[in-house]
Chain A
Amino acid sequence: MVQVNPGFIDQVGQAKTFNAAACMNCGVCSAVCPMGIELLPRKLFRYVLLGMEDKVRDNSATIYSCLLCKMCEVNCPAGVHIAENVRTLRYYLYK
């Protein structure tokens, strides 16, 4: 059972630089990822939207393994700014 933490949503999920509302969970991002990172970004964004702080922290190594190549972003049918979102998360984890 994962506790949803609304405070975490406020800190990250609703930050101006993070926007994953348009994500519809299609999975194109995972399919085109040259690193084969399955987590990124669709799962990860769900964790953020739902305030699942522990899940995000558990995956910090994965978050840092992203190349920021934007392969996912150019292929995203919903136009989510994936690389920008990942940067925001890194900033948050670093803090």
Chain B
Amino acid sequence: MSDRRIGVYICHCGGNISDYVNVETVRQAVANEPGVVVAKTAMFSCSDATQQEMIQDIREQNLDGLVVASCSPKLHLPTFREVARRAGLNPYRYTQVNIREQCSWTHTNDHAGATEKAVRLVRAGIARTNLTDPLQPIVIDTVPAVLVVGAGIAGLRAAVGLADLGLSVYLVEKSPAPGGRVGDFGAMYPHGKNGRQLIDRLVGEVRKRELVTLFTNAEMVAKSGTIGSFNVKIRVGGKAPGEINVDVGAIVVATGFDNYQPAADEYGYGMDGVITLPEFKKLLDDNAGELEYNSRQVKNIVYIYCVGSRQQDGENPNKYCSRYCCNAAVHASLQVSEKSPRAHQFHLYRDVRTYGKYELMYNEAREKGAVFCAFGGDEPPEVVSGPDGKLKVTVRDLLTYGEELAIPADLVVLVTGMVPAANSWLTELLKLPLGQDRFFNEIHPKLRPVETMVDGVFICGTCQGPKNSAESVASALAAVSQGASILKKGYVELEPLIAAVDPQACDLCGDCLETCPYSAIEQDTAAIRINSAQCKGCGGCAPVCPKGAINLKGYTDGQVKSMIDALLKEI
């Protein structure tokens, strides 16, 4: 028998649970389980009134364990841990049992079955709770400094923002000068200032701040430590090469994107007069007067959109939309209208995505005479060189009722998009997860957009996915506030549900070392240790240990076995 004093609450969830699961039957079935001293049902366990009732029960009945059978722990685990904490009960002596998603919602046609399953799940939760130990969060002191990797528009803005919050910043740029892609841009919408001016202004701000140290020709080459306290080795090239070690509490990755490079002959790329969007923008910036290409006047321009984006087939197709290219191409088209008002411009697109305020730019381009033709994704335009050596683009225009057009062109602009920057060494070094599109992946696209699975490492700008410069800066500032929110507090608290090695049982075989995806297991001649800041509690190491010397706190072998016994009771 158990000497524990556990309170169990079975939730109706309005009717979400009780319409399918007989909660009273569940309550009766578990009321006499070992350790249970309070067993109640509740209409809404998460309501203030029920929370108060639980706190009162915990205090009056002197409870040392709490089980709530309700919804997914993703929703209310923190809620009820907080209830326990407020009542003076260690929050890690709380167990949430999910009888909504796992019983009522999955077995809507089988009320008896759903109820029976709920009984077993709650029994398992009680069994686990019987063996809970009080745990304390792992507290780590943080270093008030940040490493920012990449000094493009996002990295520069992040550095300024972090410094303004009183944090030291090491800004590392691998090329000889800061600025990134935007540094090469000419006039930008909507203010007409060119990219270089924007960057110069940011670099000026960086120079004003003593807290920021900018390293150019520099790369991060090694990283150790964990959130709050990383040690980073920076290799600086250039005139005075050397290596520097710095301690930082967080790392902001802002390594940007690469331009899509068309394959040889993709839409005629390689032919005289077929150029990419970045090449075209450079041409525009270099031409003060009427637009010329190779000393020839440019009268007819054909733009082909979505080159390298929204690909449907091929090996590793770039299925995503690159987001900035429609706007950039239409903006370039307006610049052409100013430089060469008599030029004809034909935009062959799949879908125009000049969203938000950029729509005005699209309207303006049409009013200035640019013609837009839509082609189907399965029928891309073709670029051919005629017998006279002149370029011709053929396309089936869906807006002219599928009419096949042959458009003469002096210049064909391939509106190329963004691809992930080639920096696999960084991915490897930081162990950053990649998305299907091979950009760095955030934890949650909406709710945690700049945090990564690696605690203390943040991503912003286009290394995360296609963005325009305004969006890059916004995400940089998001990374600033997320990073600062950890570092300004001075310490971080981590979940204590991590692996633990029993040194008595461990025979130092080292089998566990390779199972850890987070490099959290360390071995020396005397012992195997778990780095408590690095361990995520995934449990991958525990079953591999031939001696059974590794246990996951909160989910020990003893707890899991008792849960299995409880699930199988009376079978």
**A interface residues (Cβ-Cβ under 8 A, vs B):** 1-4, 6, 9-10, 13-14, 21-22, 25, 43, 46-47, 49-52, 55
Contact = CB atoms under 8 A, between A and B. Distances in A.
Contacts of A50: 346, 371, 373, 397, 400, 405
Contacts of A1: 394, 404-406
Contacts of A9: 344, 369
B401 interface: yes
B401 A43 contact: yes
Contacts of A46: 397, 399-400
B300 interface: yes
Given A4-B346, A6-B299, A9-B344, A49 B405 contact: no
A10 B342 contact: yes
B403 A2 contact: yes
Interface string B389-410: 0000010010111011111100
A43 B403 CA distance: 11
B369 A13 contact: yes
Given A4-B346, A6-B344, A21 B405 contact: no
A6 B363 CA distance: 21
Contacts of B399: 25, 46
Nearest to A23: B366
B480 to A, nearest CB: 42
B367 interface: yes
Interface residues of B, number: 23
Given A21-B367, A50-B371, A4 B408 contact: yes
Interface of B: 299-300, 342, 344, 346, 363, 366-369, 371, 373, 394, 397, 399-401, 403-408
A2 B344 contact: no
A51 B400 CA distance: 12
B400 A6 contact: no
A21 B400 contact: no
B406 A21 contact: no
A4 B403 CA distance: 11
A47 B363 CA distance: 20
Contacts of A14: 369
A16 B38 CA distance: 86
Contacts of A4: 346, 405-408
20 contacts: A1-B394, A1-B406, A2-B404, A2-B406, A3-B405, A3-B408, A4-B407, A6-B300, A6-B344, A9-B369, A10-B342, A21-B367, A21-B368, A22-B366, A25-B399, A43-B400, A46-B399, A47-B400, A50-B346, A52-B403
Contacts of B371: 49-50
A2 B392 CA distance: 12
Q: Which 3 A-B pairs have the closest CB atoms?
A: A4-B407, A46-B400, A6-B344
A21 B346 contact: no
B366 to A, nearest CB: 5
A2 B373 CA distance: 14
Given A21-B366, A49-B371, A6 B408 contact: yes
B379 to A, nearest CB: 14
Contacts of B404: 1-2
A9 B35 CA distance: 88
Contacts of B368: 21
A46 B299 CA distance: 20
Contacts of A51: 344
